[in-house]
Amino acid sequence: MENVIYGFTAAFQIMNLIAALLSVGVGIIVGSLPGLSAAMGVALLIPITFGMPAETALIALAGVYCGAMYGGSISAILLHTPGTSSAAATAIDGYPMTLKGEAGKALATATIASFIGGILSAVALYSISPLLATLALKFGPAEYFWLSIFGLTIIAGVSSKSMLKGLISGALGLVLSTIGMDPMLGVPRFIFGSNALLQGLPFTATLIGLFSMSQVLLLSEKHLRKGVQIKEVKDKVHLDKSEFKRILPVSLWSAVIGTVVGILPGAGGTIASFIGYNESKRFVKDKSLHGTGIIEGVAGPEAANNAVTGGSLIPTLTLGIPGNSVTAILLGGLVIQGLRPGPDLFTIHGKITYTFFAGFVIVNIFMLFLGLFGVRYFAKVSKVQDSILIPIIFTLSVIGSYAISNNFTDVYVMFIFGIVGYFVKKMNLNSAAIVLALILGPIGETGLRRTLIMNKGNYFALFNSTISWVLIGIAVLSLLTPAIMAVFNKRKAKIENGD
């Protein structure tokens, strides 16, 4: 409790407030620009936050994450082009509202629902993460091995398009994670004659390549978007009392779902927002109204995708298992600050963590105000032409990858992974799976080899504890989930078709 109060007083320091405000603004801009993603924004921000105190840096990263999650709704509502994939469901009812001249109302709904989602997920962050972190105290090397295996099975879930390609991406990530020093013997592996690779692939540079530079190439292969004609926001960005009462239950329920989806590694904003949209149908009597432009249809997905933010931070901070690409990058930012996920974050580094949590709440409050009062201006930003975005994103990618260790090798690594990332996307492989494997590979390897050394090569030592068995159980479950879901959906479709 002491830490919680300390967190709020520290988060209200002027530096942290400025960081929160600016980063939310940047996040909203990144989110509202179609083609730029939250992952890209966070990846590019890491080097900038590098020199800041840890808590300020984390608040800034969370600000971009939350802002981008919300910002996607602006272009979904005004342009029918979701700024991020998480906002795709928002467009279904959001854009018809704009066509009816209710763009302001739709934006206000998205803002308020996102705020409710964010705040509710903050409650989960406060209450669940310390408990989960205590559990992590009981983890030995064998448990960490199974934890990483569980994390890797998530890849099957992350890759909705093709499980095989998801697994290939994961295996490729594992292979890449072996680059660098052998963790037990100190022998250099696969460094291709470069001493800079002794520490392994530079994580941030790899990420910036995979998520930012690849985006530059993807933008440049298409017909470039010139300044689009965006629909004017004619009405007030405002909801009256009765409208607020209509969206409150939808938003609360979707926020709960979004938080849970966020905690489950592998799922993310996109899945959450579609579930949120479906759930919003429960709250409207006349089902035919959905898709014609009703506020419930905007509130459902928006509350859900912003609730993912807090939820997804829980496994990231406590177990070091990021469920999506944004939290994977955030985890990278955490490690750069010298912080390791796990129980230490809630004891030794408790002050930093709780300042970050309080900052997360503040970020959401700023998001509410910026959304309600500034959304017209943010909407104008989504007019920026692609031809301007291309060189700007690339120069930021270069300086971003350089700044971490003032080493130009990192820039070359970024460049190579930019090209790799482009083909990864074109070939339907999965960058998030590669990143997940890059993070989990070393955890699993160290866990496995330490267990074997401690038990003189006895493989049965891996199965000695209850926690290990629980982890094996949920790993199997997570591997089977896509198959189970497929059967479930087929049945549902049959029932709906009246068969």
Partner 1 sequence: MRRLDLILSLVLLGVVGVFYFLTFQLPENAMIYPLFVISLLLILTLIQLFGAYFRKTDEEANMFKNIKWKQFFFVLVTCGIYVVLINILGYITSTFIYVLATLYGLKTGKKLSILVSVGFVIIMYFLFNEALNVPLPKGFLI
Nearby residues of 256 by Cβ (< 8 Å), 6 or more positions away: 120, 307
Is there a contact between 432 and 161 (Cβ–Cβ < 8 Å)?
no
Least Å distance, CB 444 to partner 1, is 9
| Amino acid at the residue 271 | I
Selected from 11, 60, 334, 411, the binder of partner 1 by CB under 8 A is: 411
**Residue 419 vs 470, nearer CB to partner 1:** 419
Work out whether strand 180-181 and strand 188-189 pair parallel, antiparallel, or are unpaired. antiparallel
Using CB under 8 A as the binding rule, whether residue 242 contacts partner 1 is answered as no
Least Å distance, CB 456 to partner 1, is 14
Token readout for 498 is 């009246």
Nearby residues of 493 by Cβ (< 8 Å), 6 or more positions away: none
| Amino acid at the residue 201 | L
Total number of residues that touch partner 1 (CB under 8 A): 55
Least Å distance, CB 372 to partner 1, is 28
Nearby residues of 279 by Cβ (< 8 Å), 6 or more positions away: 250, 253, 254, 257, 300, 304
* 189-208 binders of partner 1 (CB under 8 A): 189-190
Question: What are residue 306's DSSP bridge partners?
Answer: none
Using CB under 8 A as the binding rule, whether residue 408 contacts partner 1 is answered as yes
Report which of 33, 91, 97, 92 is spatially closest to residue 67, judged by C-alpha positions: 33
Report which of 457, 486, 436 is spatially closest to residue 323, judged by C-alpha positions: 436
Selected from 1, 2, 14, 51, the binder of partner 1 by CB under 8 A is: 51
Token readout for 412 is 């070359």
CA 52 to chain centre: 22
Identify which range of 17-25, 76-84, 263-271, 381-389 contacts partner 1 by CB under 8 A: 381-389
CA distances from 411 to 3, 351, 414, 418 (A): 39, 34, 5, 10
Selected from 403, 461, 467, 474, the binder of partner 1 by CB under 8 A is: 403
**Which positions from 158 to 177 touch partner 1 by CB under 8 A, shown as an x/- string?**
------xx-xx--xx-xx-x
Q: How far apart are the first and last CA of the chain?
A: 56
Least Å distance, CB 242 to partner 1, is 45
**Residue 132 vs 217, nearer CB to partner 1:** 217
Selected from 223, 241, 285, 456, the binder of partner 1 by CB under 8 A is: 223
Selected from 36, 216, 370, 479, the binder of partner 1 by CB under 8 A is: 216
Least Å distance, CB 150 to partner 1, is 17
Least Å distance, CB 50 to partner 1, is 7
Using CB under 8 A as the binding rule, whether residue 394 contacts partner 1 is answered as yes
Using CB under 8 A as the binding rule, whether residue 456 contacts partner 1 is answered as no
**Residue 195 vs 466, nearer CB to partner 1:** 195
Evaluated on CA atoms 345, 139, 62, 371, the torsion sign reads: negative
Selected from 1, 185, 487, 495, the binder of partner 1 by CB under 8 A is: 185
**Residue 52 vs 128, nearer CB to partner 1:** 52
| Amino acid at the residue 1 | M
Q: What is the DSSP string of 205-254?
A: HHHHIIIIIHHHHHHHTSPPPPS--PPP--S-S---HHHHHHHHHHHHHH
Using CB under 8 A as the binding rule, whether residue 406 contacts partner 1 is answered as yes
Rounded to an integer, what distance in angstroms lies between the CA atom of residue 350 and that of residue 22?
25
Using CB under 8 A as the binding rule, whether residue 392 contacts partner 1 is answered as yes
**Which positions from 335 to 374 touch partner 1 by CB under 8 A, shown as an x/- string?**
----------------------------------------
CA 156 to chain centre: 17
Q: Cβ atoms within 10 A of the Cβ of 453, count?
A: 11
Q: Cβ atoms within 10 A of the Cβ of 390, count?
A: 17
Using CB under 8 A as the binding rule, whether residue 285 contacts partner 1 is answered as no
Using CB under 8 A as the binding rule, whether residue 64 contacts partner 1 is answered as no
Using CB under 8 A as the binding rule, whether residue 427 contacts partner 1 is answered as yes
Using CB under 8 A as the binding rule, whether residue 381 contacts partner 1 is answered as no
Selected from 12, 134, 135, 182, the binder of partner 1 by CB under 8 A is: 182
Selected from 134, 385, 458, 489, the binder of partner 1 by CB under 8 A is: 385
What three-state secondary structure class fits 181? strand
Using CB under 8 A as the binding rule, whether residue 26 contacts partner 1 is answered as no
Query: What does the binding site for partner 1 look like in residue numbers (CB under 8 A)?
Result: 47-48, 50-51, 164-165, 167-168, 171-172, 174-175, 177-178, 182, 185, 187, 189-190, 213, 216-217, 220-224, 385-388, 390-392, 394-395, 398-399, 402-403, 406, 408, 411-412, 415, 418-419, 426-429, 441, 445, 448-449
